[in-house]
Amino acid sequence: MRIVVAAVGRLKQGPERDLAERYRKRAADAGRAVGLATIDIIEIRESRADSVERRMLEESIAIANVLPDRAVTVILDERGKSLSSATFAGQLQGWRAENRPVAAFIIGGADGLAASLRDKAGLTLAFGAATWPHQLVRIMLLEQIYRATTLLAGHPYHRA
């Protein structure tokens, strides 16, 4: 199974980008042992539209256009479900067992995502009730994917 992270906005050069790449690489390396093929990051340009609704729509359309066919989609949103790391790992393992070719994680921009895209999600995931900058959400997501791969592989990275 392939993992895609589609995120509105770019991580500029610096410590955030380095940390995100470190977790992406670790997850990709550890994921091979548990059937995860690749972890791809797709950055979506932020809309410059005048209205919030138009920005959300343009960014959501851009995301929808890059989502692979038959992907299970996961929206990152503070109103979503908070899953333990073990439950998250189990979710990935379940999708892989169902022969889902891709798990696509979607991180919207500052204004959020259009309802039309949110409504199509197979899962809406939250990292707590707080609102996080999308750059930090990307890092936290990649860390959780890495943690999930180590859990599935029986590696001692995760301590309950």
pLDDT per residue rounded down to tens, the chain (160 residues): 999 999 999 999 999 999 999 999 999 999 998 988 899 999 999 999 999 999 999 999 999 999 999 999 999 998 899 999 999 999 999 999 999 999 999 999 989 999 999 999 999 999 998 888 888 999 999 999 999 999 999 887 655 4
Task: Compute the distance between CA of residue 21 and CA of residue 85 in angstroms, rounded to an integer.
Answer: 20
Residue at token pair 């932020």: 46
Q: What is the pLDDT of residue 157?
A: 67
Strand order in the sheet with 39-44: 39-44, 2-8, 102-107, 72-81, 123-125
Give the CA distances from residue 154 to residues 10, 91, 96, in Å, rounded to whole numbers and listed in that order.
Answer: 33, 16, 17
Structure tokens at 15: 């410590």
Coil, helix or strand at residue 130: coil
Task: Compute the distance between CA of residue 74 and CA of residue 72 in angstroms, rounded to an integer.
Answer: 7
Coil, helix or strand at residue 104: strand
Task: Compute the distance between CA of residue 142 and CA of residue 160 in angstroms, rounded to an integer.
Answer: 19
Q: pTM score, two decimals?
A: 0.94
**Total number of residues shown for the chain:** 160
Residue at token pair 């791969």: 149
Q: Which of 81, 91, 93, 89 is closest to 146 using CA atoms?
A: 89
Contact 27, 85 (CB under 8 A): no
Structural domains present in the chain: 2-153 (3.40.1280.10)
10 Å CB burial of residue 38 (0-12, 13-18, 19+) is middle
